[in-house]
Amino acid sequence: MKKLLLAALLLAFACTPRTSVTSPDGKIAVSFDPQAFAYSVTVDGQPFIEASPLGLAALEADLKDGFVLKGSSVKSERSTWTQPWGENKTVRDSHRELSLKLENASGVRLNLVFRVFDDGLGFRYEYDVPGADSITVTDELTSFNFASDAASWSIPADFNSYEHLYRKMPLSRLQDANTPVTMKFADNLYASVHEAAIYAFPEMVLRRAEGLSFKADLAPGDIRNTEVKAVAGGSFRTPWRTVQIAHSAVGLINSSLILNLNEPCAIKDVSWIKPMKYIGVWWSMHLGIESWGGEHHGATTEQALRYIDFAADNNIQGVLFEGWNDAWRGSDALPAFDFTSAAPDYDVEKVAAYAREKGIALITHNETGGNFRRFDSQLESSMEWAENLGIHAVKTGYAGGGMHDYVTKHSQAAVEHFQRVIETAAKHKMMVDAHETIKPTGIRRTWPNFMTRECVRGMEYNGWSEGNPPSHHEILPYTRLLGGPVDYTPGVFDIEYRSIDGMPQVRGWGKPGTECRVNTTLAKQIANWVVLYSPMQMACDLLQNYENHPAFQFFRDFDPDCDWSCALQGEVGEWIAVVRRAGNKFFLGATTDENARTVVQKLDFLPKGEEYTMTVYADAPEADWVSNPYAYQIITRKVTSEDTLTLALAPGGGAAVTFLK
Ligand code: CA
C-alpha cells in the first residue's frame, strides 16, 4: 500500500507541469500560478515582483480567463552571436526558458514563454484562437506589482512622442510612464521595465493600477476610437515584456537582454552596413538662421559641396542635407513631400557625383510631417532613386504631434509602417536613421540597417526652447539608451550661439532675442559623442565653429564603429563613465549633472603591457556650464593599463579621452 502511494505520488509529481524557472546563476526566479493566472519574481530569494496578472482582452475571444495548464517545458540556452555593429560586436546569450501550454474552455490556446537571464527576464504571449480570422485586442492585463518602493526615472506615457524631459519620483507617486522606466530599490538593486521586438503591435506604457502595481496599456490605433488597440490574426504573438535587473546602475547598460530577445539577423549580406560619423545642414535651421526651403534655403548645391569637402578633410564619412527636396506642399493637415525631386537650388546629381568622387556618403532626408501614407506610396520609388544615385543612408522624420489620418504615432499601424520602411530600405541597401518613430526594442539585431533613431528630447530643443538640463545626459544612458542607439546629435561647440550674433533670424525661434543655449560645458559636448551611443554619430554644429578648433581633433580621431563597450561607473541622473574600443583604439567619455565631480578610473581595460598615447579633452579648472562653459584643456601623456586616470568634471561638465597607439 505504501509503495502504491509512493508510486502514485511520484506519478503525480511527474505529471505536474513545471511552473517556475530560475536564471542560470539561480539568483532570479520566476513563478507562474495557474489558478490566479499570474506571475511573480524573486531576486536573491527576496520578493521583487509579487503576484501580477497576465493576459490580453479581445472582442472575439476570451484571452484572459479560465486557462488550464496543459503542460510545460524548460530549456537552457548558452551561446554567443555576433553583429555587424553595436556597443559590443560579440554578445553572449545565457538564459533558461519556461514555456507554459495553456488552454481555456472556449478553446483558446496560449503559449506563455518566460526567458530568465542573469540580468533580468522577458515574457511574451503566443495565442492561437482556432477558427478565428481576426482578433481585436482591446487591452493588455499584464501588470508589474513591485514588492517595494523605489526611485524611478521616466517620461510620461505619451502615445505620440518621446520628446519629454525625465521625471525622478518614487514609484509610489508615479502615475504613468513610457518605457524604459528605470528604478533604484534598496540595497543598490536596479531595474528597468521595457519591451523587446515590437512587430505589428502597439507600444506598451505603464499606468498605476493600485499601490505599487503598474498595468500595461497599449497605444490605440485611432485617436477617435481608443478602444481598439490592435487587430491580429487568429494566431499571433506579442512583443516581449522585459524587466532588466542589476546590482549597479551601469549593470543595466552592460546588459544585452533586449538584443538577446530579438531574432537573429534577417539580412544575408551585411557588408554594406557601416557605422559612420556625419555632419549636416541641420543645426542652422534650429538656430533660425537658415530654413528647409524658400529664401534662406540651407541645402544649396554650393553649401553641399562645402560640407562634402569638410567631411573629406576631417575623417568624417557622411553628410546629411535636410531640406534637400521639394519644400512643403499640400496643407499643414496633410503635408505632401516628394522624395525623388530636389529643390531648384540643390543639384542632386552634381552633389551625389561629387560625394562619390570624394568617398563621402550622402544621407538623404525624408521628412513626412506625419503623412506616412504618402511615404508608403513612395517607399519603393524613393529608395530605388537613392540607390541609383549611390546614396545608402536615409534619415526619416515624422514631425508633429501624431500621424495624419488620426493614426496614433506609436500604434500598430505606425509600427507596421516603420517596419516597411526598414525592410524596403534593406532591399535597396539603405541604412536608416529614424526620427519621431517607435522606441527602440532591439530589432536592430534582426535588421541591422536600422542604425539609429531619435525618440528622445534631443539637441534640437536647445535651439529654440529652455533646452535640456545638465542631468538629462546622465539619465538617458540608464533609460532611453537601454532600448538602443540614439541620434541625439551632440557636439555644439558654440555653446551660447555667439557666432550667429548679427545673422538674420529667418524663423521665429532661436537666437537672437531668446535665452537659448546649450546647458553643458564644451568638454561635455565632446564626451557625449562617446556616452550617447550611436553607430551614426553626428557633429551637429556649424562648420565655422569646428574650423581651426583644437578640440575638434577628438571627433577626427573618434571611431563610432566600436567592437566592445563597458559602462564603468555612474549613478542614474548624476554621472556616467563609459569606455569603448574600436580596433586598437579606446575612447572614454565621462559626464556629470550640474554638480562638479571627480571621477577616478583605473585604465585596466587597456591591453596589458602596451603603451598608449592618452589625450584628455577636459574642463579647465575654472569651467562651469553656467558661467564659463567654453573653458577646456587638452592634456596628452603616455599611459599603460597600470595607470589610474583622475578626471575633474566641472558643474555640467565632462571629459573625453582618446587612447591611441
Ligand atoms: Ca524630433
Ligand 1 centre distance from Cα of residue 510 (Å):
16
Ligand 1 centre distance from Cα of residue 461 (Å):
8
Would 206 be classed as within a structural domain?
yes
Burial class (CB in 10 A: 0-12, 13-18, 19+), 494: buried
Ligand 1 centre distance from Cα of residue 323 (Å):
15
- Give the Cα separation of 367 and 453 in Å (integer): 14
Ligand 1 centre distance from Cα of residue 287 (Å):
14
Would 192 be classed as within a structural domain?
yes
pTM: 0.96
Cell 553583429: give the residue: 83
Would 3 be classed as within a structural domain?
no
Per-residue pLDDT, 332: 63
Q: Which helix (H) or strand (E) holds 414?
A: helix 412-427
Residues 197 and 283 in one domain: no
Ligand 1 centre distance from Cα of residue 490 (Å):
14
Q: Which helix (H) or strand (E) holds 380?
A: helix 372-388
Final residue before a domain boundary, out of 260, 289, 308: 260
Per-residue pLDDT, 511: 55
CATH number at residue 398: 3.20.20.70
Residues 593 and 539 in one domain: no
CB 250 within 8 A of CB 565: no
| Closest CA relative to residue 576, chosen from 509, 608, 544, 531 | 531
CA distances in angstroms from 488 to 187, 211, 445, listed in the order given: 32, 35, 21
Would 57 be classed as within a structural domain?
yes
Ligand 1 centre distance from Cα of residue 400 (Å):
9
Ligand 1 centre distance from Cα of residue 460 (Å):
7
Ligand 1 centre distance from Cα of residue 453 (Å):
10
Would 5 be classed as within a structural domain?
no
| One-letter identity of residue 512 | P
- Give the Cα separation of 482 and 502 in Å (integer): 41
**CB under 8 Å to 481, separation ≥6 — which residues?**
253, 532, 533
Ligand 1 centre distance from Cα of residue 163 (Å):
7
What residue ranges of the chain have pLDDT lower than 50?
none
Would 266 be classed as within a structural domain?
no
How many structural domains does the chain have? 3
Ligand 1 centre distance from Cα of residue 399 (Å):
6
Q: Which residues pair with 450 in a beta bridge?
A: 432
The total number of residues shown for the chain amounts to: 661
Ligand 1 centre distance from Cα of residue 487 (Å):
10
Residues 457 and 330 in one domain: yes
Dump pLDDT digits (tens) for 474-517: 999 999 999 999 999 999 999 999 999 888 888 776 555 567 99
Residues 72 and 179 in one domain: yes
Burial class (CB in 10 A: 0-12, 13-18, 19+), 492: buried
Cell 601623456: give the residue: 637
Q: Which residues pair with 588 in a beta bridge?
A: 579, 657
| Closest CA relative to residue 474, chosen from 598, 350, 402, 570 | 570
Residues 79 and 149 in one domain: yes
Residues 119 and 134 in one domain: yes
Dump pLDDT digits (tens) for 147-195: 999 999 999 999 999 999 999 999 999 999 999 999 999 999 999 999 9
Ligand 1 centre distance from Cα of residue 162 (Å):
9
Q: Please compute, for residue 19, the number of CA atoms within 13 A of its CA located in the half-sphere on the CB side.
A: 17
Per-residue pLDDT, 316: 98
Would 327 be classed as within a structural domain?
yes
| Closest CA relative to residue 50, chosen from 143, 173, 179 | 143
Residues 380 and 293 in one domain: yes
Query: Is cis: bond before 477, omega within 30 of 0?
Result: no
Ligand 1 centre distance from Cα of residue 272 (Å):
27
CATH number at residue 37: 2.70.98.10
Burial class (CB in 10 A: 0-12, 13-18, 19+), 279: buried
Residues 137 and 239 in one domain: yes
Ligand 1 centre distance from Cα of residue 286 (Å):
11
Would 249 be classed as within a structural domain?
yes
Per-residue pLDDT, 162: 98
Ligand 1 centre distance from Cα of residue 221 (Å):
21
Per-residue pLDDT, 8: 56
CB atoms within 10 A of CB 291: 17
Per-residue pLDDT, 523: 98
Ligand 1 centre distance from Cα of residue 648 (Å):
33
Residues 555 and 537 in one domain: no
Residues 377 and 293 in one domain: yes
Ligand 1 centre distance from Cα of residue 535 (Å):
18
In the three-class reduction of DSSP (H, G, I as helix; E, B as strand; rest coil), residue 67 is classed as: coil
CB 428 within 8 A of CB 384: yes
Burial class (CB in 10 A: 0-12, 13-18, 19+), 47: middle
Q: Which residue range(s) make up the domain with 37?
A: 20-260
Residues 29 and 138 in one domain: yes
CB atoms within 10 A of CB 229: 25
Residues 61 and 179 in one domain: yes
Per-residue pLDDT, 506: 83
Ligand 1 centre distance from Cα of residue 579 (Å):
28
Ligand 1 centre distance from Cα of residue 106 (Å):
46
